[in-house]
C-alpha cells in the first residue's frame, strides 16, 4: 500500500480520498476548509497541517481543486521541490488545457512524472468509486497513475499526451451541453404540437434522435428513467459546473481556431439560465427556460 497525498477534499475530492483510504492506502489529506478536513479524518484519512506537509515522502500526489489557478498555486508552492521526485503527480481537477500542459511541463522540468486525469461522473460516483477518468500524459505516467485511479473509478482511459485528458473532458461536456439543450427543445416542441411526451420519448429513444441526454438523463419529469428532473432538478450536475466546462471548451476552441457554433450557443444559453437563477439547479433544468410554459406531464406516465 502507498502513501498518498490528497489535496482538495470538496464535493468530489472528499469521496475520492475516502475510497483511497478504504483501499488501504495511507492518505494524508489537506484542504483549506476545516469542515472538509474533519470529514476526511472521519473517512480514514490523516490530516496534514498544509499541502507541503501532505506531500512529504508521498508515493502519489492527487489533487481535486476548483480551477487552473488553484492547481498552479498548489503545485508551484507546495508540491514541486517538496514531494519526492519518485512520486506520481495526478491532477483530477477540470481545468483549461493550456494550464494543464504548463503545469505538466513544469513538473517534468522539476524531475516528476505527472498526468491530468479529469473525471466524468458527479458526487455520487466520487463516493461510490465509479468515476470515469480521462488521462493525459506519457504511457509511463498513465501506467503509474492507473492503479490509484482504478480504486476511485470504474473506467480509466488513456486519452493521449499531457493535456489530452482535459481536452477529452471539455469536448465531451460541450457535446453533452448541446445535446441536452437540443433534447429540451425537442420535448418543448413536441408538447406544443400536442404529442404525448412519453410516446415521443418511446419513439425518439429508439430512433435517430436518441442520445444520452434523452435516454439516460431525460429532462422531463415522469418520463424515462429516474433523473434529477424527478427531484425538481435538485442534485445531479449543476448548471454552474456545466457552464464552467462550456467556457473552458470555448476558450480552447478559440486557442486552436476551431469552429464550434453549437458549443458557443450552448454557452450563451447556459449563461442566460444561470443569470436567471438556474446556476444551482441540475443542468437539465434548462428546459424550464426553453419552454417557460413548461408543466410536468401527469403522474402515471413513468417508464422505469
Ligand atoms: P469543491 O469546490 O466542492 O471542492 C474544491 C475543494 O478545494 C474545496 O474544498 C476547497 O476548499 C479546496 N481548495 C481550494 N483551494 C485550495 C488550496 N489552495 N489548497 C487546498 N485546498 C483547496 O469542488 P468539487 O465539486 O469537488 O469539484 C472539484 C473539481 O472537480 C472541479 O475542477 C470541478 O470542475 C470538477 N468536477 C466536479 C464535478 C461535480 O459534480 N461536482 C464533476 C466532475 C468534475
Q: Are 61 and 5 in contact (CB under 8 A)?
A: yes
- Give the Cα separation of 249 and 174 in Å (integer): 7
9 lies in some domain = yes
Whether ligand 1 lies within 6 angstroms of the CB of 87 is answered as: no
Reply yes or no on whether 39 is catalytic.
Answer: no
State the cell numbers at 172: 465531451
Residue from 31, 68, 103, 236 whose mutation best tests the ligand 1 pocket (most atoms within 8 A of CB): 31
Q: What is the pLDDT of residues 268-277, one digit of tens each?
A: 999 999 999 9
64 CA → ligand 1 middle, Å: 5
117 CA → ligand 1 middle, Å: 14
Q: Are residues 15 and 146 in the same domain?
A: yes
Q: Are residues 185 and 207 in the same domain?
A: yes
- Give the Cα separation of 97 and 77 in Å (integer): 21
In this prediction the pTM is 0.92
297 lies in some domain = no
Whether ligand 1 lies within 6 angstroms of the CB of 73 is answered as: yes
Q: What is the pLDDT of residues 119-143, one digit of tens each?
A: 998 898 999 999 999 999 999 999 9
Q: Are 156 and 180 in contact (CB under 8 A)?
A: no
Q: Are residues 21 and 88 in the same domain?
A: yes
Q: Which residue has the higher pLDDT, 294 or 224?
A: 224
Q: Choose among 16, 47, 12: nearest CA to 32.
A: 47
Residue from 43, 65, 95, 170 whose mutation best tests the ligand 1 pocket (most atoms within 8 A of CB): 65
Q: Whose CA is nearest to atom 13 of ligand 1?
A: 8
Reported as a pLDDT band with limits 50, 70 and 90, residue 294 is: low
CATH number of the domain bearing residue 245: 1.10.1040.10
282 lies in some domain = yes
Q: Are residues 135 and 18 in the same domain?
A: yes
The residue segments making up the domain with residue 221 are: 167-290
Of 142, 161, 180, which residue is a domain's last?
Answer: 161
Buried b (16+ CB within 10 A) or exposed e, 199-215: ebbeebbeeeeebebbe
78 lies in some domain = yes
Q: What is the pLDDT of residues 60-86, one digit of tens each?
A: 999 999 999 999 999 999 999 999 999
- Give the Cα separation of 292 and 303 in Å (integer): 25
Of 138, 161, 184, which residue is a domain's last?
Answer: 161
- Identify the H or E element spanning 247: helix 239-255
Q: Summarize the confidence of residues 159-180 as an average pLDDT.
A: 98
303 lies in some domain = no
- Give the Cα separation of 103 and 63 in Å (integer): 13
Torsion angles phi and psi, residue 114, rounded to 5 = -135, 145
Report pLDDT for 112: 98
User: Does the structure show a pLDDT above 60 at 259?
Assistant: yes
Of 161, 178, 194, which residue is a domain's last?
Answer: 161
Q: Are residues 90 and 238 in the same domain?
A: no
Whether ligand 1 lies within 6 angstroms of the CB of 31 is answered as: yes
Concatenate the DSSP letters of all residues of 151-197 into one string.
Answer: TTEEEEEEEESTTHHHHHHHHHHHHHHHHHHHHHHHHHHHHHTT--H
Buried b (16+ CB within 10 A) or exposed e, 9-27: bbebbbbbbbbbbebebbb
Amino acid at each position: 500500500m502507498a502513501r498518498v497525498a490528497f489535496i482538495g477534499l470538496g464535493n468530489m475530492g472528499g469521496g475520492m480520498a475516502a475510497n483511497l483510504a478504504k483501499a488501504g492506502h495511507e492518505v494524508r489529506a489537506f484542504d483549506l476548509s476545516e469542515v472538509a478536513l474533519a470529514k476526511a479524518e472521519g473517512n480514514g484519512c490523516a490530516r496534514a497541517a498544509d499541502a507541503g506537509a501532505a506531500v512529504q515522502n508521498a508515493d502519489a500526489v492527487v489533487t481535486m481543486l476548483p480551477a487552473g489557478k488553484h492547481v498552479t498555486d498548489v503545485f508551484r508552492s507546495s508540491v514541486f521541490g517538496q514531494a519526492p521526485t519518485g512520486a506520481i503527480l495526478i491532477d483530477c481537477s477540470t481545468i483549461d488545457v493550456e494550464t494543464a500542459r504548463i503545469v505538466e511541463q513544469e513538473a517534468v522540468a522539476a524531475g516528476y512524472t505527472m498526468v491530468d486525469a479529469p473525471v466524468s461522473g458527479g458526487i455520487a460516483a466520487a463516493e461510490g468509486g465509479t468515476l470515469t477518468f480521462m488521462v493525459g500524459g506519457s504511457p509511463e505516467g498513465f501506467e503509474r497513475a492507473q492503479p490509484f485511479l482504478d480504486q476511485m473509478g470504474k473506467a480509466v482511459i488513456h486519452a493521449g499526451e499531457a493535456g489530452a485528458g482535459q481536452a477529452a473532458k471539455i469536448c465531451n461536456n460541450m457535446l453533452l451541453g448541446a445535446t441536452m439543450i437540443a433534447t429540451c427543445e425537442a420535448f418543448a416542441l413536441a408538447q406544443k404540437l400536442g404529442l404525448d411526451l412519453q410516446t415521443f420519448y418511446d419513439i425518439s429513444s429508439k430512433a435517430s434522435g436518441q442520445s444520452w441526454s434523452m435516454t439516460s438523463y431525460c429532462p422531463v419529469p415522469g418520463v424515462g428513467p429516474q433523473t434529477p428532473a424527478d427531484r425538481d432538478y435538485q442534485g445531479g450536475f449543476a448548471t454552474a459546473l456545466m457552464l464552467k466546462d462550456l467556457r473552458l471548451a470555448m476558450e480552447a476552441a478559440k486557442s486552436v481556431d476551431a469552429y464550434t457554433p453549437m458549443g458557443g450557443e450552448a454557452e450563451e444559453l447556459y449563461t442566460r439560465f444561470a443569470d436567471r437563477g438556474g446556476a444551482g439547479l441540475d443542468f437539465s433544468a434548462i428546459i424550464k427556460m426553453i419552454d417557460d410554459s413548461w408543466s410536468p406531464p401527469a403522474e402515471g406516465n413513468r417508464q422505469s
